[in-house]
């Protein structure tokens, strides 16, 4: 079987990522078990969101469909060390083409590609994200709450057996900014909620009772001290 060649462009940010997906659809192909060869010659820059999406897509092909992923030519990239430091090769269970060197504490600088599958793991990652954001103490709770909700949605609505990743990086120059990406390979919120709503369609009272049922938006799991988890699902159908 001939491999599907995926060419990484010179740079890959959120703006160019849509075009990249149109030209290199590594999610929806007729034969997902087709081997994938990543062509990186001349590649010099990638942002966290495309990095996470690329990692999720390749992992899905490799782990779910047993497709071979070929990274042998990765040294053609200008900065393969960035992929190594963000755990891209570890995630794909592939040998790194570069020597890892000394890894310094990433606290306050970045969050490497990290798999999360439970609400407890979300709580731990939110604390890391709060340190990374470094925003005003008044704004911080609102920002971290938004991140928490997005990650919880991935846990509760992706479905069984799907990969969920979070990655983040803080840039100090030329313009200070923070990039944080949450990516999963799941079925999506719409499909997940429709599965739960079919039993109450056309019955306003049942829909109201369903909307205020704690845990309706996903698997309940073990109760934690997190206030939002205690009340998850409230107002979902109001």
More confident residue, 164 or 170: 164
Going across the sheet that includes 110-115, the strands are 110-115, 164-171, 177-184
Distance (Å, whole) CA 103 – CA 113? 15
pTM of the model: 0.77
Q: For helices 48-59 and 14-23, what crossing angle results, to 10°? A: 30
**What residues contact residue 18 under an 8 Å CB cut-off, 6+ apart?**
none
DSSP helix/strand/coil, 194: helix
pLDDT tens per residue, range 43-64: 888 999 999 999 998 998 888 8
| pLDDT score recorded for residue 47 | 92
Q: Are 13 and 21 in contact (CB under 8 A)?
A: no
**Phi and psi for 78 in degrees, rounded to 5?**
-70, -35
pLDDT tens per residue, range 198-223: 666 677 777 777 666 655 555 544 54
Cα-based torsion angle of the residue sequence 26, 28, 31, 34 in order, rounded to the nearest 10 degrees: 10
pLDDT tens per residue, range 89-139: 999 998 887 777 777 777 778 889 999 988 888 888 887 777 776 666 776
pLDDT tens per residue, range 78-88: 788 889 999 99
């Amino acid at each position: 079987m001939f491999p599907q060649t995926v060419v990484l462009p010179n740079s890959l940010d959120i703006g160019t990522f849509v075009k990249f997906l149109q030209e290199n659809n590594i999610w929806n192909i007729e034969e997902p078990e087709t081997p994938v060869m990543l062509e990186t010659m001349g590649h010099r820059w990638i942002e966290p969101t495309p990095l996470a999406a690329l990692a999720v897509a390749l992992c899905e092909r490799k782990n779910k469909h047993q497709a071979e992923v070929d990274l042998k030519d990765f040294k053609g990239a200008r900065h393969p060390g960035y992929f190594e430091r963000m755990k891209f090769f570890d995630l794909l269970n592939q040998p790194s083409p570069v020597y890892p060197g000394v890894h310094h504490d990433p606290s306050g600088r970045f969050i490497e590609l990290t798999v999360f599958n439970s609400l407890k793991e979300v709580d731990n990652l939110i604390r890391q994200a709060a340190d990374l954001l470094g925003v005003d103490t008044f704004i911080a709770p609102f920002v971290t709450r938004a991140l928490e909700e997005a990650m919880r949605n991935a846990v509760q609505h992706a479905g069984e057996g799907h990969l969920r990743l979070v990655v983040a990086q803080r840039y100090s120059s030329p313009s200070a900014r923070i990039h944080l990406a949450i990516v999963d390979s799941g079925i999506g919120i719409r499909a997940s909620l429709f599965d739960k709503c079919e039993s109450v369609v056309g019955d306003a009272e049942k829909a109201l009772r369903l909307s205020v049922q704690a845990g309706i938006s996903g698997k309940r799991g073990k109760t934690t001290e997190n206030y939002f988890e205690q009340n998850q699902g409230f107002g979902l159908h109001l």
